[in-house]
Amino acid sequence: MQLTQQTKITQSLVMTAQLQQAIRILQLSVPELEAEIECAFLENPLLEMEDGSSAQDFPAQDEGRVRAEDAFAAAYDADDPYEAETRSDRGRMEFAAPVALSLEEELLREADVRFADLTEKAIAVFLIGSLDARGYLVVPLAEAARALDTDTAAVERVLRVLQGFDPAGIGARDLAECMRLQAERAGLYEGILRAVIDRHLRAVAERRYREIARTEGASLAEVQMAVDILRSFSPKPGIAYGAEPPAYIRADVRLIRVDGRMEIVVCDEQLPRLRVSRLYQRAAEMDAETRDYIAQRIYAARALIRSIEQRSETLRRVAEELVRRQADFVAHGAGSLHPLTMAAVAEALGMHESTVSRAVANKYIDLPRGLVPLKAFFSASVGSEAGGAHSAGAVRAAIGAIIAAEDAANPLSDARIAEMLAARGIPAARRTVVKYREQLGIPSSAKRRRY
């Protein structure tokens, strides 16, 4: 065995810091990009920032480069609501979930108003602190009485008042009491519904409606009606409070009509505008170490500005291609979605598939019918007997339409739905129907049956 040395030339991708920054910025949504810009501004003294609403010192955006194909407009009616709107009209549109208090905060505020007696207020505060995430009381009344050095009757009186707070069912000690409190609040705790709550909750869960009807001497229709009312109640009334922080959703791109043509506009109107500070012009007067620091900060500032510009351009190109390919989906919804993969879009744009994936991640487009995730434009292909293909979204929409039109007394089985799809030229196996039906949140035929 002989060891030798030789020179070899190879190509490899080096992930420079600038490339890593461009990749990270590409996948940021508008709120995340605002936070990134703010952080960079605080860290880099060579960055200057002005409000995004100002257009001073910045060239106007080239109108021609954001025009979409003529096919965009063909999918819309003449009375499109976007026709009369301008960019300034829609430039500040954003949506945010309302800021909500936690369940405990809501109840404590109510207790502070409802209880004037300090002892009762102390009991109420203790009971509120003893509720779990569902809103159920998890501490026995006797234990609460011992902890508060009072009697059980006093604790029970306060609990009854607490159970009158919103949401209905709060302070229950088990599921049956939770259902009873909500039925009483609605004025429906009587007859067959009362019997179902008191004695047949397990039978309801197991869908033994005939057994309930036979035991209570009621008809199946009456049992069904009681179960429908019961299912309208919340078994966990507390989970809607403070489960997650407010979720902010803002459009990253917008589809508008200008002079009868559809245009894609990147929603960067309110992003702070960045530029390099003129401080570097006095660098010659400074020492070598300071000049070196300023040079590094200038490089970082320019790299950030370029990355933001590249994000905007990439996002615009991807959105234009998506809307061009999915014009029917834009106009008519999921039922008109065509099969489309990220690989196909990447090939058409001369990009890598991962670039397209990052460009659409957590991004929304503002369409005439509302905000839609960019990822919703992609759909897997389901083959057809005619040699064409249907998107998974279109197949899901077809399944939903078939089930919506079925006889509730004799719901269609998954196998029968598969046969009906095949008759439309969409060969889908029963397991495929099951998968898409579950994605739509539709229960099985046995659970859809109505009496």
**337 — pLDDT class (breaks 50, 70, 90):** confident
- Whether the link from the prior residue into 427 is cis, omega within 30° of 0, is no
- In a domain? residue 95: no
Q: pTM of this prediction?
A: 0.59
Taking residues 231-237, what's their average pLDDT?
A: 91
- In a domain? residue 96: no
- In a domain? residue 315: yes
Residue 77 reports pLDDT greater than 60: no
Same domain? For 265 and 346 the reply is yes
Same domain? For 107 and 221 the reply is yes
- In a domain? residue 244: no
Kindly compute the dihedral angle of the four CA atoms of residues 396, 400, 403, 408, in this order, to the nearest 10 degrees: 140
Block residue for tokens 């998954």 = 414
- In a domain? residue 384: yes
**CATH code, domain carrying 405:** 1.10.10.60
What stretches of 326-352 show up as alpha helix (H) in DSSP? 327-332, 342-349
Taking residues 26-34, what's their average pLDDT?
A: 87
**281 — pLDDT class (breaks 50, 70, 90):** low
**Which of the listed residues 375, 403, 418 is the one where a domain comes to its end?**
375
**Which of the listed residues 173, 204, 231 is the one where a domain comes to its end?**
231
Q: Model confidence over 169-223: pLDDT tens digits?
A: 999 999 999 999 999 999 999 999 999 999 999 999 888 999 999 999 999 989 9
Taking residues 284-312, what's their average pLDDT?
A: 84
Q: Where are the beta strands (DSSP E) in 259-330?
A: 261-266, 273-276
What domain range includes position 400? Answer: 380-448
Same domain? For 283 and 332 the reply is yes
pLDDT number for residue 51 = 58
**88 — pLDDT class (breaks 50, 70, 90):** very low
Angle at 65 between CA 63 and CA 67, to 5 degrees: 80
Same domain? For 354 and 384 the reply is no
Same domain? For 202 and 301 the reply is no
**369 — pLDDT class (breaks 50, 70, 90):** confident
Same domain? For 253 and 350 the reply is yes
**Which of the listed residues 169, 203, 231 is the one where a domain comes to its end?**
231
Same domain? For 130 and 206 the reply is yes
Same domain? For 385 and 370 the reply is no
- In a domain? residue 279: yes
pLDDT number for residue 345 = 93
- In a domain? residue 5: no
Count H helices, E strands: the chain? 21, 10
Same domain? For 122 and 225 the reply is yes
Same domain? For 165 and 200 the reply is yes
Same domain? For 415 and 390 the reply is yes
- In a domain? residue 132: yes
Taking residues 84-109, what's their average pLDDT?
A: 58
Residue 445 reports pLDDT greater than 80: yes
Other CB atoms within 10 Å distance of the CB of residue 130: 16
Please check whether residue 233 is in contact with residue 182, taking contact to mean a CB–CB distance below 8 angstroms: yes
Residue 405 reports pLDDT greater than 50: yes
Please list, in sequence order, all residues whose beta carbon lies within 8 angstroms of the beta carbon of residue 2, skipping any fewer than 6 positions away: none
Block residue for tokens 């229950």 = 172
Q: What does the mean pLDDT of the chain come to? A: 81
Number of domains into which the chain is organized: 3
pLDDT number for residue 247 = 61
Same domain? For 277 and 366 the reply is yes
